[in-house]
Amino acid sequence: MRIALGIEYAGDGFEGWQSQAHGRTVQDRLEAAIGSIAGHVVRLHCAGRTDAGVHATAQVAHFDAAAERPLSGWVRGVNSLLDAPVAIRWAREVSDDFHARFCAVSRRYRYILHNAPVRPALLAGRVGWFHLPLDEAAMAAAAAQLVGRHDFSAFRAAGCQAKSPVRFLHEARVTREGDFIYFDFHANAFLHHMVRNLVGALVYVGKGRYRPEWIADVLAAGDRRRAAPTFAPDGLYLCGVGYPPHWPLPDEGRIIALPRIPVV
């Protein structure tokens, strides 16, 4: 049988999603725990591979199990074997033609940036940081120019293996709450480092280096060298994966928000 899973993890404790020889990845930890419950070696396939330091509130993955277990076993049983900052949120049985990556029709990412003179200590590794004041209105105006179907070559990593740089960006929003700025992106798919490269460009606009119209010029030029450096992974969260309605999966768009810390 094929099982789909909803997964949450803090990426600062891992060397990314994809399995590596050293075993310090999300995939390696999960496959070991799931294999113990299944009684055989399993291979996980995820909706979107995340880099080292990138987090997820709603990653989706699937595996094939030869043994039948109650769905609760794939959740509570697996979680009981995980001592790392990763947890299974839900499990669903799906048909054999389901694929976590290839059946997905959209992904959501949120980048959380702490915009204050002093770096955050309690949230180290969980948020990005920029010390100079940023104009969120200018960044929002720049982000609006990214919405639609575009060639995002200017915002892809040099080693990106995607066959096409064209993506449809449904949403690109920038909002502020106190010292925290939220960058929200919703697209059919993303290129390698695309969100972090977009955030880097928007920060250039926010600090006044360029006007909001500059980002449209960079997008049209398709030249990575004209854009900003790749921003740190710390504040990036995979917050949702969309599938066609005939798949019986929970609506797991979980947008992370920081808790309010009372001042006494």
Rounded mean pLDDT, 6-34: 92
Rounded mean pLDDT, 27-34: 95
Give the pairing of strands 236-242 and 55-64: parallel
pLDDT of 263 > 50? The answer is: no
pLDDT tens-digit map of 106-128: 999 999 999 999 999 999 999 99
pLDDT tens-digit map of 186-233: 999 999 999 999 999 999 999 999 999 999 999 999 999 999 999 999
**What's the rounded Cα separation, in Å, for the pair 6 and 61?**
7
Q: Are 131 and 146 in contact (CB under 8 A)?
A: no
Give the residue numbers annotated as catalytic, written as ranges.
Answer: 51
State the pLDDT confidence band at 21, using cuts at 50, 70 and 90: confident
Torsional class of 133: left (φ above 0), alpha (ψ -120 to 50), beta (otherwise): beta
Give the pairing of strands 55-64 and 148-151: unpaired
Enumerate domains of the chain plus CATH numbers: 2-103 (3.30.70.580), 106-239 (3.30.70.660)
pLDDT of 262 > 50? The answer is: no
Cβ contacts of 74 within 8 Å, gap of 6 or more: 3, 5, 34, 37, 88, 91
What does the mean pLDDT of the chain come to?
93
State the pLDDT confidence band at 255, using cuts at 50, 70 and 90: low
Assigned token pair, 172: 């690109």
State the pLDDT confidence band at 257, using cuts at 50, 70 and 90: low
Give the three-state DSSP class for 71: helix
pLDDT of 260 > 80? The answer is: no
Give residue 84's pLDDT. 77
Give residue 251's pLDDT. 64
Among 132-136, 151-155, 254-258, the range scoring the smallest mean pLDDT is 254-258
Give the three-state DSSP class for 65: coil
State the pLDDT confidence band at 261, using cuts at 50, 70 and 90: very low
Helix (H) or strand (E) run with residue 171 in it:
strand 166-177
State the pLDDT confidence band at 264, using cuts at 50, 70 and 90: very low
Helices 214-221 and 136-144 cross at an angle (nearest 10°) of: 40
**What's the rounded Cα separation, in Å, for the pair 223 and 153?**
6
- Phi (first) and psi of residue 188, to 5 degrees: -65, -35
